[in-house]
Each structure stands twice: as C-alpha cells, then as structure tokens.
Amino acid sequence: METIQIEDKDFEILLENDQINKRTRLIGIQLNVDYETRCPIIIGVLNGSFMFMADLLREIDVACEIAFIRVSSYNGTSTTGSVKEAFGLPDNLHNRDIILVEDIVDTGTTLKYILEKVHSQQPSSVKVCSLLFKPSALLEPIPELEYVGFEIPNEFVVGYGLDYNGLGRNLKDIYRATIPA
C-alpha cells in the first residue's frame, strides 16, 4: 500500500482520485436534478473545499452563482472548538437557494457557525454538500447535510484540498494517518 510522509506523520491511501471523481460526478447529477429550475448560490468553504468544488462545478449544468467563505477551527490535526472567520459570506442570500460546499464535516462546529450566519439572511433554502463526513465525530445533527461523498471513520485525513499544517492540499488522492492523530 502506498504511503507518504508529511512533516512528522505517515499517511496511507484512503480514497483514490478515480473514486472521488465518480462520486463527485454522481453528486453533480443529483444537484442538476434537484436545482433544475432554480439558480443556487454555491458557496465554497475555503481553503479545503477548493479542489472538490472545482470538480463539482464542472459537473453542474444548472445556472448558478459562486462565492466563498473562509473560516478556520483547526490547529494541526485537531479542531480547536472555536471558529474564526477570515472573510465572510455574500450579503445577498435573502430568498435564494444556498448550497454550502465543504471538504469535510467532522464535529460540525465550523459548519454550525456558517449555517447560523447563512440562516440569518433568510435564504429560501440551505443545503450542505460535503465530500467527506465523519458521523462518529459529529457533536449534533446537521439537518442541512444533504449531499455526502463518503462517510469515513474518525481518522485524520489529508489530500485533495485537505491539509496537515498547510501541506498536502495538492495531493490528488485522500490519505489517512497511519497512527491516529
């Protein structure tokens, strides 16, 4: 099994790029069906979602607008439990259909923060699309989590937009730490 090293950690392959591409294509098809007569605002959560969002947008045929929000709640391999917003949401979400695109949902702390900000603008609908979901790490249910690429164990992962101390985002596959983080 292929392993890589980033700084002081070893990682092994979890999801190959082919698997990611196939699942992204299926999510894109579902979004095309669900939003066929609407024009959603698709908001990527930076930095992690950029690769998934770019590939997902290539699969979406419906009219849509694109925006980004950047938030952070990580320190190394663990969430800090508090969220700091680096740059924020568009201010024109009222009566619009919103799709938030995440790289990963684990505790849900960051996502709850973003959803609170989005809902305060009274959009018509809000759905979350996440490439990865760690159900065992989730602290409370997130009803808006509608589109999930892969459910994974509560392990630290890197690659395809996800990083370890800023490194590894450029990897085309997703790797998991060989020793729990």
> What domain range is 21 assigned to?
3-177
Mean pLDDT of 136-164: 96
**How many domains would you assign to the chain?**
1
CATH code of the domain in which 137 resides: 3.40.50.2020
For the CA atoms of the chain, what is the radius of gyration?
16
The per-residue pLDDT of the chain, averaged, comes to 91
Angle 50-57/17-34 helices, nearest 10 degrees? 60
Q: Tell me the per-residue pLDDT of 21-76, one tens digit each, with 9 for 90 and over.
A: 999 999 999 999 999 999 999 999 998 999 999 999 999 999 999 999 988 655 55
**DSSP per residue, 70-118:** EEEEEETTEEEEEEEEEE---S--TT-EEEEEEEEESS-HHHHHHHHHH
106 catalytic residue (yes or no): yes
State the catalytic residue, choosing from 55, 97, 103, 106.
106
Mean pLDDT of 151-162: 96
What's the DSSP call for residue 136? G
Indicate the pTM of the whole model.
0.91
pLDDT-based confidence at residue 88 (cuts at 50, 70, 90): confident
